[in-house]
Amino acid sequence: MQKERVIVIGSGPAGLTAAMYTARAQLNPLVIAGTQIGGQIAITHEVENYPGFWSEEKTPTGPELVEIMQKQAEHFGARFEYDEVIEVDFSKGAPFYVKTYGNEYEADGVIVTAGASPRHLGVPGEQEFVGRGVSYCGTCDGFFFRGKDVVVVGGGDSAMEEGIFLTKFANKVEVIHRRDELRAGTSLQNRAFANEKISFVWDTVVEEIQGNGVVQGVQTRNVKTGETKKLDTDGVFIFIGHFPNSKFLVGQLAMDEEGYIITDERYRTSVPGVYAAGEIQDAHFRQIATSVGQGTGAAMELEKWLAAQE
């Protein structure tokens, strides 16, 4: 059993920030990073909306920003293990039990930053064109589609919010929805219907994303008539929901009906000594900057809690 002062589960912006802050506090954190460090920004082509990392000469890519964050955390003493947490036991309080595929740990404090994953369509071409026209974040990537035509898949609040946002850049936004009415709130629906750049393709699903190096179109099918059709487009924005990466925490921490960890304003979970930050507890903002702030808060609060135990 490997004993640790602090374990950070996850290596997205919240986890990397929590690692840096706890390392600067001389808590020698171990980050269980998963199989790929960085979370969702690791697959983001360019990052223009994180303050302080933009210039006219060069915009950092997601992987570049992750590398900088990791090196900064390591500079202060954070350690990284490329493994996945498969089991925890928080029921007895500290020290907390954490099991990965390769090891078992006991930790005096834990910060959970395992993030959330966008739901995928699961159609041919989707994975191939991630970062080349397929996106799950209009706020992140909309700027790259200035003057282009894009497709939005989904009919809920996120789809309408992001679709409306995309009209700031795109020439045309076609919303593809599998039903004949939206699930979004009335106010969002009214704004979308009133926007001249937005049109709707009802009762339709995307069956394939097509292109040559970059997205060039989607193959669709009407669920009522069975008619298939190809729509030309430069981008496909998919907003059919997110799911928190919290399966390994079921029964250990209080969660809402969707599986997001419930925290208070100090990022405390239902178990004293266990904190959560980033998208695993934030179903609303899902931005690099907000996750960084949440990781900061969780780390500062854990440091105080550990000092109080002494």
Alpha-carbon distance of 256 to 265, in angstroms, equals 16
Alpha-carbon distance of 260 to 237, in angstroms, equals 23
Buried b (16+ CB within 10 A) or exposed e, 99-114: ebeeeebebbbbbbbb
137 is an active site residue: yes
Annotated catalytic residue, options 83, 89, 108, 141? 141
141 is an active site residue: yes
Number of C-alpha atoms within 13 angstroms, CB side, residue 18?
39
Asked if 39 and 143 count as a contact pair (C-beta separation under 8 A), the reply is no
> What token pair was written down for 206?
């995307």
Instruction: Burial-class residue 189 by CB neighbours within 10 Å (0-12, 13-18, 19+).
Output: middle
Residue 66 main-chain phi, psi, to 5 deg: -60, -45
Residue 188 main-chain phi, psi, to 5 deg: -65, -40
> What token pair was written down for 93?
């309080």
Annotated catalytic residue, options 83, 89, 108, 140? 140
Asked if 187 and 214 count as a contact pair (C-beta separation under 8 A), the reply is no
3-class DSSP state of 155: coil
Annotated catalytic residue, options 83, 89, 137, 234? 137
Q: Which residues are catalytic?
A: 137, 140-141
